[in-house]
Structure 1
Amino acid sequence: MSQSQHSQAVRPDDDNPVIAQGVDDEPLMPTQRDLNGRLGLFFAGLCIAYTLFHIMVMNLFPMETWAYRLIHITGGLIIGFLGYSALGQADGDGPSQTRITERNAAEKALLGVALVATGYAFAMIAIAWLGRWTAMAANPPSFVFGSFGIPLLIGTIAATVAGWRFSGRERGRVYEGDWLLAIASIAVLGYILFVVGPLRLRAGTAMAQPGDMYAAMAGVILILELTRRLTGLVLVVIVSIFILYSFVGPWLPGFLNHRGYDPARFFTYIFTDQGILGAPIAVSSTYIILFIVFAAFLQTSKVGDYFVNFAFAAAGQARGGPAKVAVFASGLMGMINGTSAGNVVSTGSLTIPLMKRVGYPARSAAAIEATASSGGQILPPIMGAGAFIMAEVTGIPYTEIVVAAIIPAVLYFISVYFMVDLQALKLNMKGLPRAELPKFAVLIRQVYLFLPIIILIYTLFAGYSVIRAGTLAMISAAVVSWLTPHRMGVRQVLHAMDMGARMSIQMVAVCAAAGIIVGVIALTGVGARFSTLLLSIADQSQLLALFFAMCISILLGMGMPTTAAYAVAAAVVAPGLVSLGIPVLVAHFFVFYYAVMSAITPPVALAAYAGAGLAGSDPMKTSFEAFRLGLAAFIVPFMFFSSHELLMQGEWLDIVHVFISAMLGMFLLSASVIGYYFGPLNIVLRAILLAAALAMVDGGWMTDAIGLGVAAALYALQRGRRNPRTTVA
């Protein structure tokens, strides 16, 4: 099924023009295949079965935890290797000019070795399972598990290398080596499931068997190869560094030093619920895939188009209207999407050209879209799946996390809104003509399309489990579609399930890779030693310790998807903050914000780079512009560190006071960054206003009075110089 088909949430006509069409369609990634014909139907069937498996297990037929998570990973590996090539794909179904038409000796040798070795390993696992199913044999003959491991590892490596060197670039076929990688994935699953009981006891100890080690090594290679295909080399390199760290610890200085581990203990430990099968995959196999399928249902019913058209009808005519639409629409879509860069590509293809049209420079247009899309990751109730991981890691109820996230998210988006409005005012921009915008009166009659989101929020706070709430919201999206031209019948529901599986594969690979890092941290104890380092820094200055934690969180998150970035930061940095006496909720929100904002932090700002590609602007300059526009997100964590009321902790009067003063502080901060208050600001006045903003965000009555006094004095100064234009609209 092609992913490039576009339709619309509202029927266009002469009286009601439509701007957004297919804004949430998933574009093909460079390595993604577009399978058609019988192969396409087979692949779609795999994806539908994968989605149905998760929905059925989560709601009706619970499974043993390890088995469920292993099947979740293996299904993701199979779909990933069949759906994504080792090399970038050519457009169309035919072979590209780079396709090797005749196999050379090296390719034949690699594929031959991979076929024989992987086939042998798969046959041994099949013998074990046939013996259990037919003869009720508890264990297979000794040669079965004694001989499958090395061939499995050799076959996996040979098929991987063959893909790197020789796989074709046509989107319509699956390379032979990728079929073998899918078979290797099944072999790894078959072995671990067969020995899962004893493996729980011996993994990571001297009792680990050679077969355990080889299966785990092959599994790690498969996970890293799929991660490379889906996200590039950055995360793979980071994971590889952590793996290397496990072996070279005895030769490292300071708090990095540890005794080192042999391969058998390391790899078997990594493939337990302390590593790959741990918290990231626990969340990926439940909440993340459920809400990705929910997003696929919204996409199939074209509700995403309605969200964007609604935003244009409400704000498109205001000055800098497309930028304001981008702030809200991209934030809403980013909340569901789960990846900042992915949301930039989907919604930015519409908003960036329109921002440029009303006068925003290309760099600013790209930066605004990147900043808004990244903000979606901190926007409740879904928070790009971050809320679910935080609940899993901390044990804090999900609803408490969502409530705590409200004020910081409002401050972030209000700050970005102030900045785009003041920039529009400074540059004397206009909005889009009303005649070119959807009519609000028409769209308001379809406000029921917000029902799936409303039902999700209501059921969550009515005491339903997250899984039950997400399932009901998903069903409601299908039901609501019957009130629109895009009714979801059986075919459309199956298409949504197909799309949900395809959209979830990246998160499966990322969470499994993040699990490797979490396992290394737990095995080596580097997280505890990092906590000791933070304590020693805090003896000099707690503020300096927080700044150091901020830098590490951003550094760990650079180049990584949000989910993986937070999972790693939560394992490395958050325990150190807790050891300083900071409440668990505050500590995890602190690292979560900086892990998310690594997507717009130079020099590796993936969301900003994605926006720059759409806008045709310089990537590095765009990343600095996005950093500037998202400055609030770098200040807000220090705010709720000093004022826990911003996380809804404390008395309501104190919460309201801190919220109002922080809002005013965000306005002053925005004015300082843009250089426009009630008129243009020179560098001296911008510095003074920045100091007033920081005073306002501190939360104390005295600092609020100082900030308000400075703001009032600057207002009086500018009023005395000129008649101001109307401010924030």
Structure 2
Amino acid sequence: MSAEKHKAQVDATELVAQTDTGARNLSGSLGTLVAAIAFSWSLFQLYVASSVPFWLHDVTGLKLIFNNSEVRFIHLAFGMVLAGFAYPLFANSPRYRLPWYDWLLIAAAAVSCLYLVVMREAIAERAGLPTDVDLVISSVGLIVLAISVYRTLGLPLVIVAGVFLLYAFFGNQPFLPEAIQWRGASFGKAMWHYWMQLEGVFGVAVGVSASMIFLFVLFGSLLEKAGAGNYFIKSAFALLGHLRGGPAKAAVVASAMSGLYSGSSIANVVTTGTFTIPLMKRTGFPAEKSGAVEVASSVNGQLMPPVMGAAAFLIAEFTGVGYHEVVKHAFVPAVISYIALVYIVHLEALKMNLKGLPKPPARVTLMQRLIGVLTGFIGISLLGMAVYYVLGFFKANIPGLTFPVVMAIFAVIYVFLVRIASKMPDLEVDDPNAPIKELPLASDVGKTGYYFILPIVVLIWCILLERFSPSLSAFYATMAMIFIVLTQHPLKAFFRAQDIAGTFKRGFNDFVEGMIGGARNMIGIAVATAAAGVIVGTVSITGAHQMIGELVEYLSGGNLLLMLVLVAIMSLILGMGLPTTANYLVVSSLMAQVIVDLGAQNGFVVPIIAVHFFVFYFGILADVTPPVGLAAFAAAAISRGDPIKTGVQGFIYSIRTALLPFLFIFNTDLLLIDVTFNHAIFVFAVAVVAMMLFAAATQGYFFARSKMWESLTLLLIAFTLFRPGFWLDMVEPPFHQATGTATMQMLSEAPKEEEVRLRLQGPDFDNPDKTITWTLPLTVAEGDAEARLAAAGLSVFEEDGVMVFEEPFPGTQHAEELQVFDFYGDTPVTLARTEVKAQRMARELFYIPALLLLALVIMVQRRRQTQPAF
């Protein structure tokens, strides 16, 4: 490897160390201490996630069980202590020893967190009345947290959290615009809110980090240490390397597979990019485009379920949507975005007339391969049916034996797959700059690591079939991964009739390094979620999101599309320089409710999960968007290209991802919300075609280089396939509407189970004329409107031809949704309009003219085609 290329790899690795695992490299007894603390953190998280504490309590009688709040305190203590050890505070701080001030900060971090564990009962007794010691501990804790965030993540999150903290204290100052003032908080109240209870730093975000995210990050670290990362990369190259632009297509697929367990787009870039970017350059891609492909695919990996950069669990917690539902909703947008990126790479290769890597000679005939595929498919199907019915029998008849049976099946399949792997040589990490004479056979590469898929299967089985909690599912998957790490080398040696003595040590070393690596990967996430807790805590104590909502409403002038564009831009800005989890926490806390509130005022009702996906997508795109785009800098360090040009090109490739949030906000079918299985397949197929057409339009190439009118036509066709309802709404209104007393007639005649949209108008505590739109499912059969409303806990009466709402009783079904109104003001809250879905023609009819237009474009371009389109 040349000195320049070696330097590029070192620069990229250094960037990952600075942002993910820590750039300080301590040796000797101090290095051993840091490793021991990191290992202990992973061990502690496994301990509290398991049933071992309860078993020990039953056996020993000792209180060895940690409650939810104690786990949060200890979790953050580990994170801030390791931040002090692993991350230098200043650019010129020593990298190989620990300065005296870091010892003080580490001690302060431990004391400020563990004080809450030791004094928890006393703190509970004086709720809301902090002592001087409480205030000192809280102040020290927040200061050390800010320093920990700065040293691990840089200034952006510190500045954002600091602004919110200052707003909590000084939001009542007269120099602030009156529109954003609030009454302000005393020092004691704020400190108690932020540090002494579970509303600020130790709120939901840290709780999710401690209970779920850590285990998934640990799972990914162990998977990587076992060799799965190299396996995924080589599998992708063996499958796709011979195609046009093969290395770039392989980079996309490898990043998608890495995204299954990776919690960092930057680490994803370096993990796969170190190998893929040089190969892309060697096959003809320019440096900036090579880096941009890797950046676009790696950033997309943060949107790939089931982990979604560890944000999926936070989304489930903040939206109240079940985790398995979050995974389902995220599936179609993430997959079609990756398919479109593969197609973009293909179009780039066509434009540059690139070829693939040398294909290995076929060792079998086409018929033999077909028979092999069918045999494998039938075998897997039979195995799946056997497992399903065996587990179903035990679960129905002997529930207590279900788990042992699952373990036995896992062990049998694992040993069988390891035996297959032992017949092949272990995969080595190749030098990406070495010449490739021919690609390996995909079947040969696949055999070496089929067993890596087993823990992922365990994870999906626990979540989707057994419906275990995400934390319990992650625990079982992690334990399965630990078992594989410890046993894969001894088992291979046994089947190869080799000496197994040294292989146990190798497996144990991989286990220890995976545990330490998982903890180090969590440092930034732990402190980021804690800092985001300051923002969430400020929003809860001040209602800051309402102020931002008023600003967006003023700037957008009430225009719904402009409001969404402003929210997207703000999410991009807020997400710059933040890791995935903190990114989601910041943008969702500030921007999600803005869409909900302003949408409701404009008659636009959208599921909460679609809103959170919208802001999350744009927050993640900050990783590729200049000037901050850290993933682009990591890729440029490897490709030796210009980081700004790499970021700009990466954003061009990511336009398809930026388009998706606008599409699924208006067409929730893309999130598989309330769709049948057959319809879901149809939605997926249409979305894939539409996204590929959009990619062709933005790249200016389809079957041949496109003329302007052809690109515009492709955009129109893609839009129609994505949102045929837009054209249908122009032909037929989506709702029948009624006003005044006619609203009650419409409510009486609406069929049961129909979702009726009610538009309410009245005063809130700041605005004398607030309007919201919300849906009310009718749960009783047709009849008197008053009775149907009363069944939902609502009371309405007529006054001068206007239907007036009374305040719902506290605790009833819709009391919280309507508490925005002031029911005791001079102006009543009225039912301004009722809307019921209209019976209309099928919106899919608009696909017909779109497909006819597509046929016309293809026919015209085929005349200019000079090479195969696929």
Q: Same fold (TM over 0.5)?
A: yes
Q: Which residue of 1 aligns with 2:713?
A: 688
Kept after mapping to 1: 8 A contact 2:73/2:114 = no
Q: Which residue of 2 aligns with 1:416?
A: 341
Match of 2:317 among 392, 398, 404: 392
The residue correspondences of 1:220-369 to structure 2 (distance < 5 A) are 220-250=142-172, 251-253=175-177, 255-271=179-195, 272-369=197-294
Structure 2 distance, partners of 1:693, 1:542, is: 22
The residue correspondences of 1:649-688 to structure 2 (distance < 5 A) are 649-652=673-676, 653-688=678-713
Match of 1:616 among 640, 655, 658: 640
Structure 1 distance, partners of 2:168, 2:116, is: 23
Post-superposition shift, 1:537? Answer: 7.3
Report which of the two has the higher share of helix. Answer: 1
The more displaced of 501-510 and 259-268 is 259-268
Kept after mapping to 2: 8 A contact 1:662/1:699 = no
Structure 2 residue 498 is matched with structure 1 residue 480:
no
Matching residue's letter, 1:455: V
Structure 2 distance, partners of 1:299, 1:35, is: 23
Q: Return the TM-score normalized by structure 2.
A: 0.69
Structure 1 distance, partners of 2:124, 2:625, is: 41
Deviations 1:168-210 (Å, cap 9, x if unpaired)? x2x332112111111111221243334434545766x5x3333
Structure 2 distance, partners of 1:332, 1:81, is: 32
Q: Which residue of 1 aligns with 2:35?
A: 44
Deviations 1:126-172 (Å, cap 9, x if unpaired)? xxxxxxxxxxxxxxxxxxxxxxxxxxxxxxxxxxxxxxxxx4x2x33
Structure 2 distance, partners of 1:636, 1:254, is: 37
Structure 2 residue 609 is matched with structure 1 residue 585:
yes
Q: Which residue of 2 aligns with 1:181?
A: 105
Structure 1 distance, partners of 2:300, 2:101, is: 40
Q: Which residue of 2 aligns with 1:714?
A: 857
Q: 1:636 to 1:682 in 2, by over 3 A?
A: same
Matching residue's letter, 1:586: A
Q: Which residue of 2 aligns with 1:160?
A: none
Structure 1 distance, partners of 2:304, 2:39, is: 29
Q: 1:495 to 1:657 in 2, by over 3 A?
A: closer
Structure 2 distance, partners of 1:337, 1:252, is: 42
Post-superposition shift, 1:306? Answer: 0.7
Structure 2 distance, partners of 1:316, 1:365, is: 15
Structure 2 distance, partners of 1:608, 1:638, is: 24
Matching residue's letter, 1:716: M
Q: Which residue of 2 aligns with 1:66?
A: 69
Q: 1:255 to 1:457 in 2, by over 3 A?
A: farther
Q: Which residue of 1 aligns with 2:18?
A: 29
Kept after mapping to 1: 8 A contact 2:694/2:714 = yes
The residue correspondences of 1:74-153 to structure 2 (distance < 5 A) are 74-88=77-91
Structure 2 residue 657 is matched with structure 1 residue 633:
yes
The more displaced of 697-706 and 345-354 is 697-706
Structure 2 distance, partners of 1:51, 1:688, is: 54
Kept after mapping to 1: 8 A contact 2:223/2:452 = no
Structure 1 distance, partners of 2:564, 2:18, is: 38
Kept after mapping to 1: 8 A contact 2:556/2:566 = no
Post-superposition shift, 1:604? Answer: 2.5
Q: Which residue of 2 aligns with 1:510?
A: 528
Kept after mapping to 2: 8 A contact 1:661/1:699 = no
Kept after mapping to 1: 8 A contact 2:277/2:290 = yes
Q: Which residue of 2 aligns with 1:214?
A: 136
Structure 2 distance, partners of 1:302, 1:657, is: 37
Deviations 1:573-602 (Å, cap 9, x if unpaired)? 112223323211111111121111221223
Structure 2 residue 726 is matched with structure 1 residue 697:
no
Post-superposition shift, 1:690? Answer: 2.2
- Secondary structure of the structure 2 residue equivalent to 1:540: coil
- Secondary structure of the structure 2 residue equivalent to 1:515: helix
Deviations 1:18-37 (Å, cap 9, x if unpaired)? xx9xx999964386222222
Q: Which residue of 2 aligns with 1:375?
A: 300
Report which of the two has the higher share of strand. Answer: 2
Structure 2 distance, partners of 1:47, 1:210, is: 33
- Secondary structure of the structure 1 residue equivalent to 2:261: helix
Q: Which residue of 2 aligns with 1:163?
A: none
Structure 2 distance, partners of 1:638, 1:656, is: 21
Structure 1 distance, partners of 2:596, 2:299, is: 26
Structure 1 distance, partners of 2:714, 2:306, is: 33
Q: Which residue of 2 aligns with 1:162?
A: none
Matching residue's letter, 2:868: T
Q: 1:346 to 1:444 in 2, by over 3 A?
A: closer
Deviations 1:629-682 (Å, cap 9, x if unpaired)? 111111111211122111111232543343322211111111112111100113
Post-superposition shift, 1:529? Answer: 3.5
Q: Which residue of 2 aligns with 1:440?
A: 442
Matching residue's letter, 1:261: A
Q: 1:248 to 1:599 in 2, by over 3 A?
A: same
Q: Aligned pair count? A: 625
Post-superposition shift, 1:407? Answer: 0.5
The more displaced of 477-486 and 447-456 is 477-486
Q: Which residue of 2 aligns with 1:109?
A: none
Matching residue's letter, 2:856: A
Post-superposition shift, 1:702? Answer: 4.9
Deviations 1:274-324 (Å, cap 9, x if unpaired)? 111112111111211101111121122111111111111111111111111
Kept after mapping to 2: 8 A contact 1:672/1:686 = yes
- Secondary structure of the structure 1 residue equivalent to 2:223: helix
Kept after mapping to 1: 8 A contact 2:297/2:338 = yes
Kept after mapping to 2: 8 A contact 1:600/1:623 = yes
Q: Return the TM-score normalized by structure 1.
A: 0.81
Post-superposition shift, 1:254? Answer: 5.2
Structure 2 residue 594 is matched with structure 1 residue 576:
yes
Structure 2 residue 601 is matched with structure 1 residue 601:
no
Structure 2 distance, partners of 1:644, 1:667, is: 19
Matching residue's letter, 2:861: Q
Q: Which residue of 2 aligns with 1:139?
A: none
Larger radius of gyration: 2
Kept after mapping to 2: 8 A contact 1:662/1:697 = yes
- Secondary structure of the structure 1 residue equivalent to 2:310: helix
Matching residue's letter, 2:452: L
After superposition, the CA RMSD in angstroms is 2.4
Post-superposition shift, 1:479? Answer: 3.2
Post-superposition shift, 1:337? Answer: 1.8
Structure 2 residue 867 is matched with structure 1 residue 725:
yes
Matching residue's letter, 1:173: R
Q: 1:397 to 1:307 in 2, by over 3 A?
A: same
Post-superposition shift, 1:516? Answer: 1.2
Matching residue's letter, 2:73: L
Structure 1 distance, partners of 2:848, 2:624, is: 33
Q: Which residue of 2 aligns with 1:147?
A: none
Structure 2 distance, partners of 1:57, 1:25, is: 33
Q: Which residue of 2 aligns with 1:500?
A: 518
Post-superposition shift, 1:403? Answer: 0.8
Matching residue's letter, 1:374: V
- Secondary structure of the structure 2 residue equivalent to 1:623: helix
Structure 1 distance, partners of 2:708, 2:124, is: 63
